[in-house]
A and B are shown apart, each in its own frame.
Chain A
């Protein structure tokens, strides 16, 4: 059945290492998003992509990178330049971005802990 998968669910990383979080969707959605969630705060947009081979920075893109080589996949790399990477990361997708009635579908999330 259709949905969004994120892997792994829990990820531990040593300081100074890059790490890539996976996000795959089989909903045939054009738009995909990466959010970061910290305790007591709303979701913050890291990057989004409205179409293959195109992506834009969100509100907190520094220290992160993405690629969108396939419609189904939108991996997020947390680089060593990200000063405070420990957080819960959520991936989402939607049919299209520029719509008032756009519903985003979320993956189960990846909890990243930097040791």
Chain B
């Protein structure tokens, strides 16, 4: 079993829908990262969380440390949100452990 599991693996939705991507982990962590990988391959950091909730524009990230679970939400989704969303956790010994990613397609 992978230490970082994302679900779903693939998600297709219509423009305007509310999107939720989940990340569960099995190790003790000091921080959790959400990143976005564009179709061309470049990766950008969206959020870094150690507790609670963060919001940036239409993106919201939450984390529940007790349940070892994080969610990334996208409100009012748009085709330009189509990308691979990656969850990565920084373990207690500073190792970065990566999820396999969720491929999101938003149809107009």
Contacts and interface: CB of A to CB of B under 8 A. Distances in A.
Interface of A: 40-45, 88, 90, 92, 97-109, 111
A111 B40 CA distance: 10
Q: Which 3 A-B pairs have the closest CB atoms?
A: A42-B98, A100-B30, A109-B41
Contacts of B2: 42
Interface residues of B, number: 24
B27 interface: no
Contact of B41 (A44, A90, A92, A98): A90
A36 to B, nearest CB: 11
Nearest to B2: A42
Interface stretch (B42-50, B54-62, B63-71, B73-81): B42-50
Contacts of A90: 41, 43
A3 to B, nearest CB: 10
Given A98-B94, A104-B45, 4 more contacts: A43-B86, A97-B94, A99-B94, A100-B94
B83 to A, nearest CB: 13
Contacts of B30: 100
A3 B45 CA distance: 14
